[in-house]
Structure 1
Amino acid sequence: MAKSEQTAIEVGGHEIKVTNLDKVMYPETGTTKGDVIDYYRQVAPWFVAHASRRPATRKRWVNGVGTADEPRDAFFHKNLDPASTPDWVATVSLEHRHRASTYPLVDDEATLIWLAQLASLEIHVPQWKVGPRGGHQNPDRMILDLDPGEGAGIAECIEVAHLCKELLDGMKLTSVPVTSGSKGIHLYAGLDGKHTAAQVTEVAKAFAEALEKEHPDLVVSNMRKDVRGGRVLIDWSENNGNKTAVAPYSLRGRDHPYVAVPREWNELTASLEQLTPTQVLERLASIGDPMQVLLDKDERVSRTAKDRLTKYRSMRDQAKTPEPVPEASPVAGEGHSFVIQEHHASRLHYDFRLERDGVLVSWAVPKGPPDDPKENHLAVMTEDHPLEYGSFEGTIPQGQYGGGEVKIWDAGTYECEKWRDDKEVIAVLHGRPDGGLGGEPAKFAIIHTKMGGDDKNWLMHRMELEPADSQAATGTSDSTTDQKLPRFEAMLASVGSVDDLGTRDWVFETKWDGYRAIAEVTGGQASLRSRNGKDFTRTYPELAELGSLLDGHTAVLDGEIVALDEDGRSNFGSLQNHGAGGSKAHYMVFDLLYLDGESLLRTPYSERRKGLEALTLDGEYIHVPVTLGSDAEAALKVSKDLKLEGVIAKTIDGVYQQGKRAGTWLKIKNQRMQEVIVVGWKPGAGSRANTIGSLLLAVNGDDGLTYVGRVGTGFNAKQLAEIKKRLERLERKTPALDDVPRADAKDAKWVRPSEVGEVTFGEWTVTDRLRHPAWRGWRPDKNPQDVVREDG
């Protein structure tokens, strides 16, 4: 079923009709309505814990939030329409001055998903709850909204937040900071419920006024905008019984899908940044909910509560089984892998698993997949399995759940023709050439029949292939060299340190200093493209050698295009001058994603590495560099001794998560670097009188471009001339951002924010500026919209 059509999902025993799942709600990031619903499904346990029994006001963006240049207005909804509200949604009627309004109570996951289906991106709640008879209870928390005025920013908010904490600690009130997903910070303090909203409001007002008196240059308690310049408003008024604030874990209707996220106090440093839904879910899985200290113990949510792998974990003891038992919650993705495992448990059966929403949806098939359309086989649905199980082979000890030998019978990718939760799945499987399916595509329907009255029982049916199905696996030709290759996106590494390595097994590779590129080889011809789709094939003609080295194979590889100095180190400056003075490019291949009809995305890193090394790619310009081993200390020492940029740490059992920044790849740098967007330049003086003195730099922040300082070193005369020529073509009359200090803006020439460069620097200042930056060069392989602050 196409995503734009209406379909139904079951949530908490309720059927919810969802529509237009492919509608883009956040154009800047391509985030769809389906992504929004998926986020709210995964964050529901924590969202509900903090929002339940609180009347919910909704801000709806029916057609998306628009862009920074053309934002769209939201519809602010308080009153529910009884005709369109499901009868299972808990509601409360509240009297206002002129009329009564009916509000939803987000007491369960189903209600939250129903609101998300209505494009309610933001959900706001008061600081009090509804009692069992529908009346106001006294507030159970106080909120202080720290809102920076013009000329102030997050650094000033952090300073004020710590001042607030000192006072709140003195009042013996436990407090939790929440980055609002917008400009400021919300502070929540837990209350005992003995005081009215009016009394709490008076306390909050006195609190703000006291801090203003002590710190008049930093804090303001007056709501008037004309007195807030350069200071932080402590908005105490949101404690009024008639007011609301954005709920913890709610999305924000800004140009980027940032979230209102509870934080630890030690996170409030100069490196603080707003978080995306994916980052929020990852931190909930790893550190839990910092705001749970304000909840009663029976309201708190464990890190894995309602996680789709909770049941899987409960059935396994990681100390006793070789099976993967990940602690982290699964994160939904777009993968379509499958695996069929031959399982010699108490009775032989075949485990049939399809990747869906970050897990392997699984059935046990006693007789195995049918090979005749005239036969139907029983398929018993089992618990969801982690994606890591897709590469698992081994012996589960007797006495453990599923004890016996597990072997992969076939594996690969599938095309989903239909997926109706709890009803029917139709998929075309494309397995391995030597797999149990015979190397040919196979189409199966799995239908929920509940045979014998057992809800776990499904029926598996082999379907006849349509001509289009068989062609999808092999292209339009039987020739391997004519095969159409799948399009893969590069997996990204997270910024990390040695402290992040934990107890997992890692392998360390050189961090190359060049342009990341995916290579596709078919018919003896190679093409290379950057992460943002830029075609590098003609730019670096010497890398055509890859096609001849892999002649007879079809392959997709991942690597880095670099220029080498006389000591064999990658030199980014030389790559900038490719083609001048005999400089040549080299392609350092470090991963194998696809080979001769088989996707290797779900294959562990160690196996992909063996496959890559077996190809013996050793040419004049094509190389498979050796790893730096599995000892972190030794690898980092070698990297520093050789004056390399750093290392990339990769877990040996990690799968390739295309298009994602994952914790199974860590980028550990020897020096700090930052991608930047050039937004302007200042004319030089003295020896630079006729050229550029410095470049004005920015990165993307929560409210658009954020100024991060200027760079005036690291250039040579040739680069200065090239940069000036490039930027003169991009001139504009006004700056593309608002927060450039007056001294830096004086005499500046403004340009369109379309060019990405890179600098080295010492550290971030408390005002979020680059300290001692030096220019490294342009980054034509990067998109401006992807440039954000890197803290590593």
Structure 2
Amino acid sequence: MSPREQKVEIEGRTLRVSHLDKVMYPSTGTTKGEVIDYYRRVAEVMVPQAERRPATRKRWVDGVGTAKKPGKVFFRKDLEDSAPDWVPRADIDHHEGTSTYPLIDEPAVLIWLAQLAALEIHTPQWRFDADGEPVNPDRLVLDLDPGEGAGLGECAQVALWCRELLEEMGLDSFPVTSGSKGIHLYAPLDGSATADEVAKVAHRLARALEEEHPDHVVSDMKKALRRGKVLVDWSQNNGHKTTVCPYSLRGRERPTVSAPRTWEEIEDSGLEQLELEDVLARIEDGTDPISPLGFAQNGRARTASGAGKGTKNSKKEGKTGKKGKKDEKGATGATSGASSADTVSDRLSTYRSKRDAERTPEPVPVASAGDPADAAQEALDSDAPMFVIQEHHASSLHWDFRLEHEGVLVSWAVPKGPPLEEDVNRLAVQTEDHPLEYGTFEGTIPKDEYGGGEVLLWDSGTVEIEKWREGKEVIAVCHGREDGGLGGVPRRFALIHTGGMGRGAKSAAAKKKASSDWLLHLMKDQPDEDAAAPEGSTSAGGTDAASGAGSGTAPGDSAPGDAAPGDAAPDLGEPIRPMLATLGSRGDIDEDEWAFEMKWDGVRVIATLVPGELRLTSRGGKDMTPTFPELTELLEAIAPDTLQAGRVVLDGEVVALDAQDRPSFSRLQQRLGLTRERDVERARERTEVHLMVFDLLEAGGRSLLRTPYRERRDALFETVDASEHVSLPHADHGDVGHAIALSQDLQLEGVMAKKESGVYQPGRRARTWIKIKNSRHQEVVVVGWREGHGARAGGIGSLLLAVAGEDGALHYAGRVGTGFSDRDLEAVADRLRSRTRKTPPVDDVPAADARDAQWVRADLVGEVKYAERTEDDRLRQPVWRGWRPDKSADEVRWET
């Protein structure tokens, strides 16, 4: 056998695989061996979707190529003449004759097709029966395809509208991001309707969506009608049409996948297409949202009989894939020694040798090829390479400057930070290459480990490599975040190796050190500040894996964009996302290093101010300014010269006080969600609010995000004056017991402990902020309600609740029927009336609670107080506290 061939055994089938090092996706270096390994590992969830369906294939024998030079693709229907006799097959009669199709009824067929470079697998919505005869469709599909000017976000919105219509028809629905531009939406059928009948229903559904949302949806294929809209393509329900199979790779520039998703993901504003490694990670975690549509789960038993004329099918009963992981001898090895990922593995050997994965939170990928961590891919969903700069509080403070090159992050340590002025040279010491997933790392490395200390994301984004002379010179343009340390503008840096500067060194160690020395400087020829980032990137201001955590300046540099007194006032800009606390206890606190604030029972807001203008945003980014007009007092509470110098950003909590001047969350409910001026003024007459300001994030345009907490607090009292509706609460230093006792005496929610040396980490849940609660509160998602009895007859008696578990999926958490006033129950009924659905959003509701339940969409968040959380994650004695309009359902997790 040729040295470039291997024999592999898949569930008793022996196959030959070859040319494993051939690159199939040049943009990522993904090899044929990695493609084969993907289909091997995905078989357990993909085979049930493809089983007994005729499979058409798109083959890229020489790879997909590049955007400028695409690879040649071959569309194949008929089974290859070289097919092994064990491949299941079935015949279809066409006008031009009879075609024999392969059936992907076992993992070995997937591997065989991957060996033929069949990257894409397409199947119809119907299957063959045990006798090889076509049967009626067992699913309906809608292809949501964005026209020019529309994107995946628009497709997601249309998918949600589709789900509502399908639910009204009594059909469940399962979304799949297509791996291309849009979303496929599947609904299971009972097989009683023909393909023509299903197509007509799908067409009517598409037309109904178009009529209801004419500015967003189109059902006609004409391109001229599709600009800025989403086409709901119903035609793939035709019995002669096919759709790319769930879990199939796509022949795009990057190895994207037709990936089944949860509805919570579709509702996420950060929804993106998934790639090969993302999907493998989900499968390893047991995530298979479309499993109810699989052959083994749809109520029809598997069969070992032949699938067509002359067919021999020895597939055994049961779920595929898991046995194959142990039985195959060569498919995992197919990438070993042959994949381009081996090069990356070798470049990371030094990095691995310095770290123990059991002792450091840093990503330490295994040495085997073809298995990079999925965290890297989140940061690399664009075609452009990435850069990251991390502020590293190790034994000596320095900044780590990292550029993606040849599958790794090439890294330099810069003791004084990246220069933000021209003609300034900074020493940059080259260190070991880091894995790509390090681009998302932020955390604390234990002090006794290599590089021990806190690592913070200073800036990150995409990079254009203009020149790379290995070991000599690098020129790169970094496009960072709007709130990042580079100031939100593109920066062109040059790295120059010092070359012979170390030739006079006497010792080998000194020579080695000199060989690592580079100079980093900001070039005189800088790109235009409005220059676009590389195509497909999420650069300045984007929401990528490191968003929200920039310090704004390096030591010794002025912040670009700092406004001088007398300059025109800047606009409000993007809001800073609030830092989040971790639930803890007294045992988490070292009193000498911590300060203690009271925990205010209200709604978190970020206040952004410029002269004459105020914006209040919630934790989820919602504009709450119209809801709290009395807080415009803030504009008078800040010194005018500070505002003239640049914007001011404050962090605080909006509260409503009771008769004893204690925060009352139930009173605050009367103000939440109101935006119309008349409604706000009426509610304001009954309930006024106050803003407890506890942090200063920006003052006069100068970022304080990387300023220690204690210094920020001192600056807060110098910047803001208290007023009728604005308070500056006191912070205790060094006595957690006193702080807890005081919070209990005042009957407050608890204590916020904050590390005095800690910096502000926007959007991050950090252990430098610890919340210690006096009572147990839990955010919950409302999934339904039950009718009341007695005085509540004819109305709502209790709400059914859910909380997401460790798997990210919602699970039933019990029901709450106390804590409501009659007025509350009327408002709850009004709110839930428009959200009715026929099936429960969760599948683990006990029969006793589900018996007379009315179900609603799982998109409203409330909060309860409770006595205990049981072993099966049910709330005991919950008491309703109120709605949380500042929170989204996908944020809700157990407070642990």
Which stretches in structure 2 are left out of the alignment for 5+ residues?
1-20, 31-36, 65-83, 88-107, 116-253, 258-273, 290-296, 302-316, 329-353, 365-374, 380-385, 443-449, 452-456, 503-513, 533-539, 541-559, 672-682
1:596 equivalenced with 2:645 (yes/no) = no
CA gap of 1:577–1:115, structure 2 versus 1, over 3 A, is closer
Could you give the per-residue CA deviations for residues 263-284 of structure 1, whole angstroms, max 9, x where no partner exists?
xxxxxxxxxxxxxxxxxxxxxx
Cα separation, 2, equivalents of 1:577 and 1:338: 44
Which of residues 789, 802, 806 in structure 2 aligns to 1:685? 789
Cα separation, 2, equivalents of 1:245 and 1:538: 64
Aligned letter for 2:611?
G
Which residue number in structure 1 is paired with residue 334 of structure 2? Answer: none
Cα separation, 2, equivalents of 1:502 and 1:490: 24
Aligned letter for 1:521?
L
Whether contact under 8 Å (1:430, 1:442) holds in the other structure is no
Whether contact under 8 Å (1:376, 1:460) holds in the other structure is yes
Q: How does 1:375-394 map to 2 (within 5 A)?
A: 379-381=428-430
Aligned letter for 1:729?
S
CA gap of 1:61–1:641, structure 2 versus 1, over 3 A, is farther
Which of residues 630, 638, 648 in structure 2 aligns to 1:542? 630
SS in 2 for 1:601: coil
CA gap of 1:526–1:384, structure 2 versus 1, over 3 A, is farther
1:619 equivalenced with 2:723 (yes/no) = yes
1:764 equivalenced with 2:869 (yes/no) = yes
Shift of 1:561: 0.8
Q: How does 1:425-574 map to 2 (within 5 A)?
A: 425-427=476-478, 443-447=491-495, 449=497, 451-452=499-500, 455-461=515-521, 462-466=523-527, 468=529, 473-474=560-561, 479=567, 481-501=569-589, 505-550=593-638, 551=640, 552-553=642-643, 554-574=647-667
Q: How does 1:10-159 map to 2 (within 5 A)?
A: 57-59=40-42, 119-121=276-278, 123=280
Shift of 1:58: 2.7
Whether contact under 8 Å (1:412, 1:599) holds in the other structure is no
Which residue number in structure 2 is paired with residue 754 of structure 1? Answer: 859
Cα separation, 2, equivalents of 1:356 and 1:414: 10
Cα separation, 1, equivalents of 2:787 and 2:839: 16
Q: How does 1:728-739 map to 2 (within 5 A)?
A: 728-739=833-844
1:583 equivalenced with 2:687 (yes/no) = yes
Mean Cα deviation higher: 534-543 or 116-125: 116-125
Shift of 1:500: 2.7
Which residue number in structure 1 is paired with residue 849 of structure 2? Answer: 744
Shift of 1:560: 0.9
Which of residues 751, 754, 777 in structure 2 aligns to 1:650? 754
Shift of 1:617: 2.8
Whether contact under 8 Å (2:489, 2:529) holds in the other structure is no
1:303 equivalenced with 2:359 (yes/no) = yes
Which residue number in structure 2 is paired with residue 260 of structure 1? Answer: none
Equivalences, count: 534
Aligned letter for 2:857?
R
Could you give the per-residue CA deviations for residues 423-481 of structure 1, whole angstroms, max 9, x where no partner exists?
4443589999xx9x9x9999551325462396524343432345537999439997252
Could you give the per-residue CA deviations for residues 141-192 of structure 1, whole angstroms, max 9, x where no partner exists?
xxxxxxxxxxxxxxxxxxxxxxxxxxxxxxxxxxxxx985689xxxxxxxxx
Mean Cα deviation higher: 470-479 or 772-781: 470-479
SS in 1 for 2:783: strand
Whether contact under 8 Å (1:559, 1:587) holds in the other structure is yes
Could you give the per-residue CA deviations for residues 357-406 of structure 1, whole angstroms, max 9, x where no partner exists?
9x996545899959656x8776443689999xx9xxxxxxxxxx99xxxx
Whether contact under 8 Å (1:674, 1:759) holds in the other structure is yes
Cα separation, 2, equivalents of 1:376 and 1:762: 61
Aligned letter for 1:567?
Q
Shift of 1:487: 3.0
Aligned letter for 2:624?
F
Cα separation, 1, equivalents of 2:417 and 2:821: 71
Q: How does 1:265-280 map to 2 (within 5 A)?
A: none
Whether contact under 8 Å (1:507, 1:649) holds in the other structure is yes
Whether contact under 8 Å (1:629, 1:635) holds in the other structure is no
Shift of 1:672: 0.9
Shift of 1:340: 12
CA gap of 1:572–1:700, structure 2 versus 1, over 3 A, is same
Aligned letter for 2:650?
L
Cα separation, 1, equivalents of 2:753 and 2:428: 40
Whether contact under 8 Å (2:582, 2:771) holds in the other structure is yes
Shift of 1:539: 0.4
Cα separation, 2, equivalents of 1:605 and 1:485: 24
Whether contact under 8 Å (1:443, 1:464) holds in the other structure is no
Cα separation, 2, equivalents of 1:489 and 1:460: 31
SS in 1 for 2:717: helix
Which residue number in structure 1 is paired with residue 166 of structure 2? Answer: none
CA gap of 1:607–1:419, structure 2 versus 1, over 3 A, is farther
CA gap of 1:429–1:583, structure 2 versus 1, over 3 A, is same
SS in 1 for 2:625: coil
1:670 equivalenced with 2:719 (yes/no) = no
Which of residues 792, 817, 837 in structure 2 aligns to 1:712? 817
Cα separation, 2, equivalents of 1:456 and 1:676: 54
Aligned letter for 1:530?
S
Cα separation, 1, equivalents of 2:769 and 2:845: 35
Whether contact under 8 Å (2:429, 2:517) holds in the other structure is yes
SS in 1 for 2:741: helix
Which residue number in structure 2 is paired with residue 790 of structure 1? Answer: 895
CA gap of 1:241–1:596, structure 2 versus 1, over 3 A, is same
SS in 2 for 1:658: coil
Cα separation, 1, equivalents of 2:635 and 2:43: 52
Aligned letter for 2:716?
L
Aligned letter for 1:517?
V
Cα separation, 1, equivalents of 2:326 and 2:495: 46
SS in 2 for 1:565: coil
- TM-score of the superposition, structure 1-length normalised? 0.54
Could you give the per-residue CA deviations for residues 28-71 of structure 1, whole angstroms, max 9, x where no partner exists?
xxxxxxxxx9xxxxxxxxxxxxxxxx999333999x9xxxxx99
- TM-score of the superposition, structure 2-length normalised? 0.48
CA gap of 1:576–1:629, structure 2 versus 1, over 3 A, is same
- Structure number with greater Rg is 2
Whether contact under 8 Å (1:496, 1:668) holds in the other structure is yes
Between the aligned residues of both structures, percent identity stands at 36
Which stretches in structure 1 are left out of the alignment for 5+ residues?
1-13, 22-36, 38-53, 65-69, 86-94, 105-112, 127-177, 184-222, 228-234, 247-297, 309-328, 391-400, 403-410
SS in 2 for 1:681: strand
Q: How does 1:410-421 map to 2 (within 5 A)?
A: 418=464
Aligned letter for 2:360?
T
SS in 1 for 2:732: coil
SS in 2 for 1:560: strand
Aligned letter for 1:746?
R
Whether contact under 8 Å (1:754, 1:784) holds in the other structure is yes
CA gap of 1:681–1:339, structure 2 versus 1, over 3 A, is closer
Cα separation, 1, equivalents of 2:282 and 2:421: 56
Could you give the per-residue CA deviations for residues 471-512 of structure 1, whole angstroms, max 9, x where no partner exists?
994399972522453431111111222223368722221111
Aligned letter for 1:643?
Q
Pairwise CA RMSD: 6.1
Whether contact under 8 Å (1:16, 1:114) holds in the other structure is no
Cα separation, 1, equivalents of 2:482 and 2:802: 47
